[in-house]
């Protein structure tokens, strides 16, 4: 039996990058533009895909560790500021929804589910992406990694949703793509389904022993 048990869920939480949308190319583009400004070596899109998912600050730190080894606070802040300035101008040039996402969202909205996007990405570019892709109307809220002091794998964002929407944990499902999502759900005490096509920091998602893995969210509708 599917762990999703969609019929009993009132609140469905979605990760963004690697779950709802493939944003790697835009992150790669903005990062290399930033590195070029700072006269640093460039990185590949394949490398960028392994660094996505833990928030922008850690993304920049991972890039610098790869390029220069030990990273100073000044170096980190310079890249972080430069990257955000560039990325936030246009975060959705090549970003697209993954196959099956829009059909699943259409079904969930038609069933009266409350949908929330919960991401470690800052809220400004997260909302911009959903607006540009005409997906914002599906979601009652978009909670970025900069709303609270803690972000996934900390359960704060998830527990906020449970409390704010006054539902039981049994009525909530998280859909994500990474060990951060799995760990946040475990710590929050809610069920989690992960997709196989996401980024997960370049690691096999099965290694973190998720409750269920699907190749396409449409599998949950059959």
Q: By residue range, what is the domain housing residue 68?
A: 24-87
Residue 123 in this model has a pLDDT that exceeds 90: yes
Catalogue the E-assigned strands of 58-148. 96-97, 114-118, 141-143
Pairing of strands 172-176, 11-14: parallel
User: What mean pLDDT, rounded, does the chain reach?
Assistant: 96
Q: Which of 44, 59, 87 is the last residue of a domain?
A: 87
Least confident of 9-13, 47-51, 167-171: 47-51
**How many domains does the structure of the chain reveal?**
2
Give the pLDDT score at 14: 98
Query: Quick check: is 1 in a domain?
Result: no
User: Any idea which residues carry the catalytic annotation?
Assistant: 15
Q: 117 and 33 share a domain?
A: no
Query: Tell me, what's the pLDDT at 222?
Result: 85
Query: 61 is written with which tokens?
Result: 């730190």
Is residue 91 within a helix (H) or strand (E), and if so which, with residue range? Answer: none
The secondary structure element, H or E, covering residue 22 is strand 21-22
Q: Is 1's pLDDT higher than 80? A: no
When pLDDT is cut at 50, 70 and 90, the band that residue 53 belongs to is confident
Residue with tokens 């080894």: 69
Q: Quick one: 129 and 197 in the same domain? A: yes
Residue 201 has pLDDT above 90, yes or no: no
| Pair 10, 41 in one domain | no
Q: Give the pLDDT mean for 17-44.
A: 97
Q: What is the mean pLDDT of residues 29-54?
A: 95
Report whether pLDDT(117) > 90.
yes
């Amino acid at each position: 039996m599917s762990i999703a048990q969609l019929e009993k869920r009132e609140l469905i939480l979605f990760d963004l990058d690697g779950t709802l949308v493939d944003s790697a190319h835009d992150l790669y583009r903005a990062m290399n533009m930033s590195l070029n400004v700072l006269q640093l070596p460039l990185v590949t899109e394949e490398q960028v895909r392994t660094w996505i998912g833990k928030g922008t600050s850690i993304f920049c730190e991972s890039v610098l560790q790869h390029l220069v080894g030990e990273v100073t606070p000044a170096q980190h802040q310079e890249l972080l500021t430069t990257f955000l300035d560039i990325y936030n101008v246009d975060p959705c040039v090549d970003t697209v929804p993954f196959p099956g996402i829009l059909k699943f969202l259409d079904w969930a909205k038609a069933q009266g589910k409350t949908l929330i996007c919960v991401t470690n990405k800052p809220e400004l570019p997260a909302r911009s992406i959903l607006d540009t892709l005409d997906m914002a109307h599906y979601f009652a809220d978009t909670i970025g990694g900069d709303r609270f002091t803690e972000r996934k794998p900390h359960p704060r964002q998830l527990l906020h949703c449970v409390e704010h929407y006054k539902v039981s944990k049994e009525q909530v499902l998280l859909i994500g793509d990474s060990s951060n999502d799995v760990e946040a759900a475990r710590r929050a005490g809610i069920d989690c389904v992960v997709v196989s096509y996401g980024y997960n920091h370049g690691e096999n998602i099965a290694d973190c022993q998720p409750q269920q893995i699907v190749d396409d969210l449409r599998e949950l509708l059959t």
